[in-house]
Structure 1
């Protein structure tokens, strides 16, 4: 009688590791598939710890894929943002897990080397020991400690850590959506930090800002203008928005004409003001969200 399949048992973990290293759900799924192929060909009688073995495979596959992806992202049209994913309330309730999957953090992780990113993810998000990480990435424990230190210092300098109350995050998100839909610049200005930055990712496939929009006045004007114009052939009156759990925090999914057309994630400071907005509209990056939203989204849901 055979026991449970370790790959199936740890598949969610493998995807979680790969997604945080790669920043896209599609690439993470490919990395998990490659891991399964390698696992299927392995001599499992020699594997003492299947979980550690599988994490080692997926970490190295993800790092290899990230090296190739980074070269492609250098020629990406407009700002490159991670692919958003829908998450559960359980994820949001776990502060460490929610932070590790946030779009804002994933953007910062893009500036790390593949090794630093893998080490940071395995240590900070999943609590692996330095010895376990060294085995996973095929480096010495000392090299892993140094990579972890560099990664932590870089991440903390770019993204100071503080906890934003989930209820406050949802309240601000709902207020922002209502103000943007109504073209209410005054309310938008109250919600936005003076140095707020808007990042929009259309990938050259749909109309979006080609450079970051910086400053409360410019960001407010941008959203007020968007509320008055059709987007991808859909009139504002025919669009719908729903606040959902997106990358570990309240976010917004926009839909129209029976399809998902964009997502929006807000980053808040310790005073609850919006410091960054990540707007993903590249259709290739909306597939993971779209597959879990079967019916058109209605405001009264």
Structure 2
């Protein structure tokens, strides 16, 4: 057999496999691109929702009274904002029926409040005509609670404020950890490192257990709808859990959307903490006439001319960093 005949035979045998490999590679690239788009849309939506958590009508629910972390999380506004952004990014901003169908891919939403959390999930209830109905609803607030073997009950928060039932004296006490521990016989309150570790463990384990149960029930609901995807709790990073136990936030799970021959399964966490930035001032050194920027906490004696929100903005207006105030940074 001639060498050319062997070459032709080789191409006829190997060619289809190479073509199939090329097709699969292209499908994988498209699936990866689609997954990246979904992740970007999810993160953007959750960040938008997180910014609305601290939007309250009444001043008594704002931060700054008992604690810098105290808010009454505005879960409804956060949820509406998050879903609005998500719908827009998925191209269903004006399609109510598509939005209802899309909710099947969101097994659970969690909102972390200052002293507990809420679960947004599909719930069954009985209608006016006693017919079984299913809709998405918020659970009652679930506290970050722990009970020890002596019958003491501790309600944790996102900071050091604590509410305790002291079984030895039979009464409830609330306040900063430092104050309550002086009047309480609860052992955990007198071991600061152990207290903080237990606080974090209790919050994480409570949410994880609720997530697993909620996602399991969502599987039962979606099977009735004919979906063949099995929802599971994805692995949540330690960094996200650390953020969860430190600030109010919203956590959203998006799963089961086909991407190539696989399914999208991810989550995102958006925080609602307010962070006050230092004001950047711009002034003129009256001796040299040179313009400098510096934080308001530093007073170099320059003549104040402008106020900025960042060093970059000040530099763009021709101000130089003040050497006098560098230590204050």
Query: TM bucket by the smaller chain?
Result: under 0.3
TM-score for both structures, normalised by structure 2 = 0.23
Would you tell me which structure has more helix in proportion to its own residues?
1
Higher relative contact order (CA 8 A, sep 6+): 1
TM-score for both structures, normalised by structure 1 = 0.24
Would you tell me which structure has more strand in proportion to its own residues?
2
